[in-house]
Structures are given as structure tokens and as C-alpha cells.
Structure 1
Amino acid sequence: MTIDTDNITFDRAISLSNDLIYSVEKGEVTPAEAAEHLNSIVSSINGARGFFVALLTGESALSNDLPEQFLDAFRKHSDIVCDLLTKNLIMSATMMVTHRRNGDAQMEANSRSVNEKTKRIIRRLDNEAMARHLLSMTDAIKHKLQTGEDDHGSDYSPFLQRWRYDGEQLKEGLAALSDLNPD
């Protein structure tokens, strides 16, 4: 299966990823065979976004115990993958606050599940690129909490500006980051 990653849409990536995850779970393809396709999918931003939506929001047991071949594919495309995992970590943490405020316990639980799955993947990646992304996000959030300003000059300043998280949400995001970097 060859995937045109230059033109893959987000929706197409979700569909391909769901098929890939299902095929691995059912034993129709080996993790090594699936990793070849995964390499193509996560080589683009839309592809990687679609894959992580399928993996993190789905009910697949695969998300709790990813094959090492999948992690290798993530490492090959670490600029894209580490950025997305960092943003997913913060978005899921901040959405827990939003859903809690709205009294939506089910959606809060779903966001918590995405957050925990994201943390598991980040811990297993355990590479310098991931550490740099987490540190950059930590610095950007701390700056925002201390000064109230979004424009820290960090790669994640535009992300924080776009989503306009409040103090409680940022603290929840920082707590998620602290779970990964306890120092």
C-alpha cells in the first residue's frame, strides 16, 4: 500500500489509521508490516494528526501497548510526532478542565483517557526530540502563567495564543507535563 502523503487529508488519515490498527489487532498484518504503512502516514502533519486521533480516541488495546516498530516509525518522524504529542498532551489536559466546568463527566473521562494514552507513548519514546518539545511547552506555559503574556518566543507561543487557555487550564497542562518531567 502506497500512500500519497503530500495530499493525504486528515479524514483519510483517520480512516487509514483505523484500518491499520484494526488489522494489527486482528493479526491480519504483523506490527512490522503495519509499521511500513505507518511510516508513510506519520510522515505528514495531516497523516500524523489522523493517526493519533484514531489511536488516542479509539478503544484499541494497541494504544496501551504499542509495538516497538510503531515507536520506531514515530522516531523517524520525530519533528512531526513530538510536536503533535506535546500538543495532544496539553489539549487533553486543558479539555479535562473545560468538561469538568461544564459538568460533563463522560467527556472529562474521555479527555483523561487521551491524556493518559499520550503520556504512555511519550514515556516510551523517551528521546531527545521529545524532551525538547516538552521543555519548550513547559517554558511557554510557565511564562504565560507568570506574565500573562503568550508571546514567549517559544515554538509553542502561537499554540497558546490560538487556544487562549486560562490559568486553571494552563496549570492542568503544566501538571501533565510535570508527570513526565518530575524534576
Structure 2
Amino acid sequence: MASLFNRVFRPFTTNSVTKMSAPVSIPEGAERATVAAGCFWGVEHMYRKHFGNNQGLYDARVGYIGGDTSDPSYKAVCSGNTGHAEATLLIYDPTKITYTQILEFFYKMHDATQLNQQGPDRGTQYRSGIFYHNEEQEKIAREITQKVNEQWWKGKVVTEILPAKKWWDAEDYHQEYLTKNPYGYECPSHFLRTFPDLK
């Protein structure tokens, strides 16, 4: 990925997602989904391309979740010592897209069978994970994971399903990185697979 920088960033709060320049309001009725699928540049980019343009995605932020260190920097997360995963926080309109659709896309766009890596990116920060925000999300995550494990990934899924801990926004230069840098690094395991519909 890119060269390492240490920049100050702010944690996600209940009412807004804070960017470096200005907070982004979360529309009334919007819901959150948080997933980790390797290098967050490609994950965020693919969700924006698939669910953006009035298809239901209000915003996608990249950041860190799942660890115990406060205010982790990209350099610290890359060391593998913070416990955090590179992740994507999705703010979406549940009247246009469902949590089930978000997770089915998640399982199509990365290799859920690779433990602590995606493609050439290795380390616990690149693990596959779903971080649920409520009991309903946990129920759906477990149901979808069981189905994709049986029907798509042949029993090899290593994705962890955990309650969402505190979210930390990544440094500003990571946000919409591949939009700003169209020839930037994208993990080769990030592409949309043509699996059949789940039964």
C-alpha cells in the first residue's frame, strides 16, 4: 500500500462521521454496516461503485476496528500490534439496499478463505471480518456466512463475526484513495465473483 504517514484523525460518533475537513451528517433512518476484507482502499472503492450514485449508499469510510489501541495510526495498525483490522464503514439507506445485500456483496468481492491476508497483503490487519452493530445484524451475518460457506466457499470461510467496537477513521489520505489515485494499488483478490444466487 502507500507509504506510511502518521496523521491525527477522529473516531466515529453516533451522530456523524468526521472527516478531516468537516463532519458528514448521517441522514435520519440510515444504518451502518462495518466489514473488513483486506486493504480498505479497494473495499471502499468497490462498495461506492456498486451501491453509490443513488443506489442506497450514503457514504463509505475507511478506518480501523477490532483492536484495543486508542487512536491507532496506519503505521501502528500495519505493525500488527494493535489488534485492529483495516475496515470499511458503510452508511446506507435500508429502504434501497439491505444488510443481506451488503454481506452477499462482501462475500463476492474478496477471498473469505484466506486467514489474515488478502492476496499479497499479509497480517491480522488484513483479516476478513463482519462487525455487527445490533442483534439483527449478527443474526443475518451468521445466516449469510453459513450459506456462503456451504454454497460458495465449500466450507473454507475464515471470516470472523464480532460485535463492532469503537471505530477509528483512517487518515484523510486513505479516504476515497482509488478515486483520487486511479492507478493506485488495489489488492488482486478484490474483484466481483459470479457466484449463483444463494438458496
Give the structure-1-normalised TM-score.
0.36
Give the structure-2-normalised TM-score.
0.34
Q: Which has the higher contact order (CA 8 A, sep 6+)?
A: 2
Higher strand share: 2
Which of the two has higher C-alpha Rg? Answer: 1
